């Protein structure tokens, strides 16, 4: 809700009873703005301000013919004998609510009164069809930045889509600055407020969302420093909690376990690091977490899959963040071919099969065993499985097969061995099983 100064609140109380009366069938209502003055001279002094308000709304509302103007009790008895007020139009019952909704959403104080007999209708014409909400950010000097998205699809608007109206008002509610941010056909707009900044998001089909942030600078609307460049990314979280102690424990866990993914997973420079969830719109506030990267979703999938094979408790969440993306990657051109997981007596065994580019020796395997609390119990690394037994024989294909008690790697190998030729199509099976808190790997010929 928009906050209004005391002078408007007094006027609201004075008009509350009259404005609440039921609209007579076919009757007209005077649409008023601001407060009632005791003299025509005082009303005339604020008339330019009313004109400026309507000028700011030219993308939302077409002014009524002959308005704004000064009115008296001859226009509406509720104004009071000898009083003068600024009116923006005279509207039928069905015309009044849309016009008032636009004016109120833009931060104006407006009211309505029954029109006196003989007053001619002349109502402002809406150029938008619906108010989608209003948010407000308060400035340190008492000013307010107001953002109101509107649906913009009437014929008079000469286009479809949405429009966000920004208004900067001082502590007396006087208009200092304004700006309209229009979106194209089929696009949607939304606004949110955070402290002294309002954020506007425009989403169009087939395009990434565009975000801008606005604040008050020396009585003008200006892009918020450091916030306008926020981007949609995925934050990859290793662990954390409500306290620094929990976050430090999660970081220590990563440092103690990272050797298990050395050679297959590389983090971007500056990661891992402990961050506050309050700094990233999209996260639940009040947490301290270990971040492994800040990366666009389309670039994250392969590395995230490998990470979750290593630790299923790691996860990614969509947030907004400043600066350039920082993405993890699979090392040396590796590709993640398959992952299998097996629950064994309260522990979890995961096996990841990775392949490098065709010019390199094929196949790399990692096996990880974690207890029910996510702690790493054991891990094994197998590079070029089968080569130790059969010399330079290359295994040209591999597949992971899960059984009730193990995860098997079926290998098809070929080429000369250390003891003589090995015919093409010769196979091996590498089996990973669990004994206690250890991984056992056994190889057999098929």
B/e letters for 180-205, b = 16+ CB within 10 Å, e = fewer, are bbbbeeebbbbbbbeebbbbbbbbbe
pLDDT digits (tens, 9 = 90+) for 357-384: 664 556 788 999 999 999 999 999 987 6
pLDDT at 405 over 70: yes
E strand or H helix at 253, and its extent? Answer: helix 244-257
Higher pLDDT, 359 or 392: 359
Shortest CA distance to 147 belongs to which of 166, 132, 128, 162? 166
Least confident span in 80-84, 102-106, 218-222, 239-243: 218-222
Q: Which residue has the higher pLDDT, 213 or 92?
A: 92
Strand order in the sheet with 28-37: 69-71, 84-92, 28-37, 110-114
What's 154's DSSP letter?
S
- pLDDT for 201 equals 83
Average pLDDT over residues 57-77: 94
Angle at 180 between CA 214 and CA 101, to 5 degrees: 105
Domain boundaries, the chain: 6-126, 130-223, 232-332, 334-445
Nearest 5°: phi and psi at 350? -125, 140
DSSP reduced 3-state for 160: coil
Secondary structure letter of residue 127 according to DSSP: S
Residue 338 has pLDDT above 60, yes or no: yes
Given this model, what pLDDT does residue 437 score?
92
Distance CA 34, CA 12 (A): 10
The tens digit of pLDDT for each residue in 125-164 reads: 998 888 888 889 887 678 899 999 988 764 444 446 788 9
3-state per-residue secondary structure call for 398-425: EEEEECCCCEEEEEEEEEEECCEEEEEE
Distance CA 330, CA 109 (A): 59
As a whole-number percent, the residues of the chain with pLDDT over 90 amount to 46
Cα 33 to Cα 280: distance, rounded to the nearest angstrom: 41
pLDDT of residue 421: 43
Yes or no: say if 200 and 212 are a contact pair by the CB < 8 Å rule: yes
CA torsion angle 105 111 113 118 (round to 10):
-70
Count the neighbouring beta carbons within 10 Å of the beta carbon of residue 319.
20
Query: Would you tell me how many other CB atoms lie within 10 Å of the CB of residue 300?
Result: 22
Q: Which helix (H) or strand (E) holds 302?
A: helix 297-310
For the chain, give the mean pLDDT.
82
Q: pLDDT digit string (tens) for 279-295?
A: 787 888 889 999 999 99
Residue 400 CA to residue 259 CA, distance in Å, equals 23
Write out pLDDT tens, residues 416-444: 444 444 444 467 888 999 999 999 999 88
What's the confidence (pLDDT) of residue 42?
92
pLDDT of 184 over the 80 cut:
no
What mean pLDDT do residues 253-281 have?
89
Q: How far apart are CA 90 and CA 71, in angstroms?
A: 11
Please, what is the Cα angle at 167 between 161 and 171, to 5 degrees?
160
Rounded Cα gap, residues 131 and 205, in angstroms: 21
pLDDT at 183: 81
Average pLDDT in the 181-195 region?
81
Q: 360 near 374, Cβ under 8 Å?
A: no
- Tell me if the bond preceding 272 is cis, omega within 30° of 0: yes
pLDDT tens sequence across 14-38: 333 333 333 343 589 999 998 888 8
DSSP string, 31-94: EEEEEEESSHHHHHHHHHHHHHHHHHTTTTEEPPTT-SEEE-TTT-GGG-TT-EEEEEEEEETT
Work out the percent of the chain whose per-residue pLDDT is above 70: 83
Q: What pLDDT, on a 0 to 100 scale, did the predictor assign at position 341?
A: 93
- Are the C-beta atoms of 328 and 268 separated by less than 8 Å? yes
Cα separation, 419 vs 389, in Å, equals 10
HSE-CB of 332 using CA atoms within 13 angstroms: 15
Q: For 208-216, what is the mean pLDDT? A: 82
Three-state secondary structure call for residue 120: coil
Residue 27 has what DSSP assignment?
A: -
CA distance 21 to 80: 17
pLDDT, position 394: 58
pLDDT in tens, 340-349: 999 988 899 9
pLDDT at 160: 60
For the beta sheet containing 231-241, the strands, ordered from the edge strand earlier in sequence to the opposite edge, are: 273-276, 288-295, 231-241, 315-321
Reported as a single tens digit per residue, the pLDDT across 98-120 is: 999 999 999 999 999 999 999 99
Residue 388, SS3 per DSSP:
helix
For residue range 407-420, list pLDDT tens digits in order: 988 877 665 444 44
- Of residues 203 and 19, more confidence is placed in 203
**Residue 318 contacts residue 287 (beta carbons within 8 Å):** no
């Amino acid at each position: 809700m928009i906050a209004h100064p005391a002078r408007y609140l007094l006027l609201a109380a004075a008009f509350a009873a009259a404005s609440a009366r039921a609209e007579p069938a076919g009757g007209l209502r005077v649409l008023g703005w601001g407060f009632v003055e005791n003299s025509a001279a005082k009303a005339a002094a604020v008339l330019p301000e009313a004109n400026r308000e309507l000028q700011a709304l030219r993308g939302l509302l077409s002014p009524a013919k002959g308005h704004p103007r000064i009115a008296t009790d001859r226009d509406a008895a509720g104004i009071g004998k000898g009083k003068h007020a600024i009116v923006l139009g005279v509207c039928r019952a069905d015309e009044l609510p849309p016009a008032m909704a636009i004016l109120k959403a833009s931060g104006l104080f407006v009211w309505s009164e029954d029109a006196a007999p003989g007053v001619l209708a002349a109502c402002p014409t809406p150029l938008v069809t619906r108010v989608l909400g209003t948010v407000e950010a308060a400035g340190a000097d008492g000013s307010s930045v107001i953002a109101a998205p509107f649906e913009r699809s009437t014929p008079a608007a000469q286009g479809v889509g949405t429009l966000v109206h920004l208004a900067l008002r001082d502590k007396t509610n006087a208009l200092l600055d304004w700006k309209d941010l229009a979106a194209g056909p089929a696009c949607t707009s939304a606004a949110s407020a955070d402290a002294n900044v309002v954020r506007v998001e425009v989403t169009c089909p087939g395009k990434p969302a565009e975000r801008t942030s606005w604040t008050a600078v020396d009585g003008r609307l200006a892009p918020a420093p450091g916030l306008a460049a926020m981007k949609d990314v995925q934050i990859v979280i290793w662990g954390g909690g409500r306290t620094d102690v929990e976050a430090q424990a999660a970081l220590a866990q990563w440092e103690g376990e990272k050797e298990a993914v050395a050679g297959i997973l590389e983090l971007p420079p500056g990661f891992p690091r402990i961050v506050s969830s309050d700094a990233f719109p999209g996260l639940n506030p009040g947490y301290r977490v270990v971040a492994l990267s800040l990366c666009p979703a389309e670039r994250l999938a392969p590395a995230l899959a490998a990470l979750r094979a290593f630790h299923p408790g790691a996860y990614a969440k969509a947030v907004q963040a400043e600066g350039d993306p920082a993405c993890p990657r699979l090392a040396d051109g590796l590709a993640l071919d398959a992952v299998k997981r097996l629950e064994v007596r309260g522990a979890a065994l995961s096996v990841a099969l990775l392949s490098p580019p065709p010019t390199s020796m094929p196949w790399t395997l990692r096996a990880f065993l974690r207890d029910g609390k996510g702690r790493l119990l054991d891990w094994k690394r197998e590079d070029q499985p089968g080569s130790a037994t059969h010399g330079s024989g290359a295994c040209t294909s591999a597949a992971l097969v899960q059984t009730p008690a193990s995860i098997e790697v079926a290998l098809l190998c070929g080429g000369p061995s250390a003891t003589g030729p090995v015919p093409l199509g010769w196979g091996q099976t590498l089996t990973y099983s669990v004994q206690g808190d250890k991984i056992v790997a056994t190889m057999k010929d098929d």
